[in-house]
Every structure is written in C-alpha cells, then in structure tokens.
Amino acid sequence: MGAGKTTIGRLLARRLGMTFVDSDHEIEARTGATIPWIFEIEGEASFRRREADVIRELTARQGIVLATGGGAVLDPGSRALLAGRGTVVYLRASVHSILLRTAHDRNRPLLQTADPRKKLEDLTAQREPLYREIADLVIDTGRPNVQSMVQTILDQIEALHAAHARKARITMNEHASISLDVDLGERSYPIVIGRGLLDDDVLLARHIGGGNAKVAIVTNTTVAPLYLDKVAAPLRAAGREVVEIVLPDGEAYKNWESLNLVFDALLAHKCDRKTTLVALGGGVIGDLTGYAAASYMRGVPFVQIPTTLLAQVDSSVGGKTGINHPLGKNMIGAFYQPRAVIADTATLDTLPARELSAGLAEVIKHGAILDAGFFDWIEHNIGKLVARDHAALAHAIARSCEIKADVVRRDEREGGLRAVLNFGHTFGHAIEAGMGYGVWLHGEAVGCGMVMAADLSRRLGLVDDAAVERIRTLVQAAGLPVVAPDLGAARWIELMEVDKKNEGGAIKFILLKPLGSPSIAGAPRDLLEATLAATVGPAAGAVPGAAA
C-alpha cells in the first residue's frame, strides 16, 4: 500500500519486455466499479474474494509483471500462488513514506479513518510477516531515484536466478536476500542481507568488483578457517590474485601493530591503487581494514563482509573506521565508506553465544533511540533472537541497517544527528578502556552502558522508572551484563572525559527522551555520581554474564 509498486512495476515490465498488470485495476475493469465503492457496498470480505479470484487467474499467465494490492497476502491461497508461480519482490516502505504518498488519495478505503497513521501501523504489523514469508527479494523504497531502484531489482533477480537456478521455491526464512542502500550520492553503496550469500560466486564477484585487479582479504585467526577459502577460492578461479592477511583475533589487537601488518602485506605483494580490500570478520576487522583502505595510497576500495551480528547490524555500515589508543577507544581513524556490505546471516550459526548477545546490544540500541515500535518488537521476539531464529534475525538485521543507513544519509560525519547512535557508548567505552580492551566485548559494554544511560535519563527527568526497567530487562534477556564494573568514580569520569562527543571538556551523553527518542546532553556531577553508585557493583566480574 503506497510503496510505489505501480510506478516501479511499469518500469520493471518495460525493462524486462513484459506486460504490466495491476490486480486492483483489473478488478475495477471487470466489475465497472471503483475499489472504494466495492468496499462500501459489498464490504472488505467480498473484495478479498474478488481479489483472490483475479490473482488466481493472473498468476497463471506468463510474461507479466503483476502488482498486487497490499492486502492480497492476507489470503493463504493467494500467498501460495504468488510464491509458487513467480519471483516475489516486496517493496518495503516506512509508515511515514506511505503517509506522504497517500495523504490526498481517496481511493484507499482502509485509510479513510480519523487516524490513518495508527491504521497503517496496525496494517504493517499484520502484513509484514506475510510479505516476508513469500518474498524472494525485499527492496527498501526509501531512496528517491526510481531508476536506481529498478536496476537494483533487476540485479538481484539476476543474482537470485544464477545462484539457485530456480530449482525450487526457497522460503524467505531461509534464503531470500534483502537489499538496502546507503544513500550518499556518488558514494552510495548497497547492503545485501541474506542466508548463504557467501555461496553465491556471482554476487561476490559483482560487489567486490575491480575487474582483474588484486584482492586483499583481511581476516583473523578465528574466522579464517571457517570462511576465508569460501571467499578466496571463487576469486582465484576467476583469475584474480588474492592476498590473504590473517591477524590475531580480539579487540586487544585493534591497534597500530595490526594495522602495520596489513600495510606490510600490501606493500610486499606490490598492491596498487586498484586493489580491493575485503574485511572478512567482525567489528575489529571491519574497522581496521576500513582504516587501512582509507590510508593505503591515500585510498583504495574496500568491501565489508561482516561475520558477527554486531558487525552486521552496526559497525559495517556507515564508514566509521579506525583503531584504538591506550587512552581511548576509536580515537584514531577516518570516515571512509565501503563499496558494498555483504551480510551472510549463515555465518551467525558459528558465532559463540556471547558474541551473539554482544550483537543484540546494538539491535536494542537502534530501537531504544529511534524506533519505539522496533523496541516493542525486540521485546516480544528476544527469545527467538537468542535462539537464532532465522526470520527474526533477518528482520532485526534489516531494520537495524535501515535505521543506521537513514541516520548516515542525513549526517555522514557525525556533525550532530549521527551522535545519537552512541547511546550507551560513553559508559561502554569507559568500561572497555578501564577493564582493558577485550576483557568485555564491545556489545557487552554497550549493553551495560545503555542501562546506565537509561538510569541517568531518569535522574534528569527525561524518562520514568518503567522505561528504565524495560531497558534493563531487555538487556538482561539478551544475555548481557546489567551491573557495571567498579572502576572507582574518579576513574570512571576520567575515562568518560576522553570521548569523541565531548565539547569544551564537558562530557556529552546520549540519553532517552522518551524511550524511542534521543537527547544529547550533559549531566550535573552529582547526578552522574548517583548513576554510577546505583549501577556499579561487585557482582560485575572480569568476564561478564547475563546474571551479573
């Protein structure tokens, strides 16, 4: 509903040399009545029966691009026919976008209510799982360039056919890919999310690009045995020279020494400006490889292939690259965007439970600061996420990437808005530096940091006790610590004073006002110390756990 399917469908049909058919228009042509009239006189149930009959007939035809009404998926028979007889493309639009497109359209009977936004939110909650159930491709319609969107659909259809040869219908929960864009003008790039993407040689070759130029894959000692050959072998088979750079694993190695190991390998293999770097691993590898790409020969292309949940939902998107310094986390780096992000959700199958929980911290963060509805969804589905339910993880990754991509589009270099993505990070970075990098995982520190930031928000009168408890309960349910380590109040404040968000020596916090909306503010020393006293405790050991 209101996702632009008629416009995109017509263009797609023209590019494919097919006939475009809109099921709603077909119903109107056959009945001689408008959709609103049918709803008013016969009721929605009668309209849905007519719609199902038309879809049954149209899906039997060959050579057409069919645009269905938004509610067509409500009928199980229609869903089965759409899934079994064609390639289903779900054009996903936000409620805000749909409202803008349909504000003056009187031909949408379901939106003729006193509160169309609430109606749209209810319809989205009802229909979204059904769309994803049958979709082969999920395409975000937030970008303004329709021609670019059509090309993305064509590319994804080609990749889908090449990878699976249309042997069998593959359900959304397992193998459909979701394609999003980070819209930054000429530096825009795609995020492709799906299960089994590393098995798709065509997709890897297309996004890594570079013709016959060298490819340098940077990974670590944990990821290399699992996925290095899977990425390198098809590139070598295509005639590419592949340089393998395997670094030690862990946050403790996100430093100058590891960065120089990358430079040493690039120079030893005489890599030139056409070389593409590939970051194969989690957040440490992604940040470090991106910084190497930004610096080597003053900039070479790189591609992110994140293999942890934290990297897939956050660190691989947005172009923040860098390394740590003993006095502060991520204080040395550059803004440098990748050519593409390829997130294969199958890599999460081998992820340790502690790493999975660390990634869920960033998922929770996105809902807490910018999407209260998404936060609600996480609360209701945290059990599925912890259990690695494929459909739940795919939705969490896609929504997190949508939220971050939209923020990056509006504020690439953290001039203001992008800072809100650091909710929980002022406290979290202090934990990491104070305990020693790698003792707490980044996501564990952020999870605990969100509990602390929520407590400070309450003390400043920005949220109530219930909101703080919701944050704490959800963080704990994700398997993350909710009690901070006792670094001493003076040490805590000293560490927080070394933070990129600070201005004029004053500590800046990302707070909640209310849950689902951010606020950037300072805090009086007495309230900050009260938060530290309330959230720090001896139960927080060196290696955090959910029961901390």
Catalytic residues: 298, 320, 362, 404, 414, 418, 422, 425, 429, 442
Task: Determine the straight-line distance between the first and last CA of the chain, rounded to whole angstroms.
Answer: 46
> Among candidates 181, 137, 133, which has minimal Cα distance to 163?
137
Q: In terms of DSSP bridges, do strands 340-344 and 302-306 run parallel, antiparallel, or are they unpaired?
A: parallel
Give the type of residue at 320.
K
Question: Looking at the DSSP assignment, which residues form a beta bridge with residue 258?
Answer: none
- Number of Cβ within a 10 Å radius of residue 444: 27
Please count the CA atoms within 13 angstroms of the CA of 225 that sit on its side-chain side. Answer: 5
C-alpha to C-alpha distance for 281 and 222, rounded to whole angstroms? 9
Closest CA to 275 of 297, 260, 259, 247: 297
Q: At what angle do helices 442-459 and 525-535 cross, to 10 degrees?
A: 130
* Contact assessment for residue 342 and residue 304, using Cβ atoms and an 8 Å cutoff: yes
* Residue 451 tokens, joined: 């509990």
Query: What is the DSSP-derived secondary structure letter of residue 546?
Result: T
Three-class DSSP labels, 313-356: HHHCCCCEEEEEECCEEEEEEEECCCCEEEEEHHHHHHCCHHHH
* C-alpha span between 395 and 404 (Å, rounded): 14
Report residue 72 CA to chain centroid gap.
27
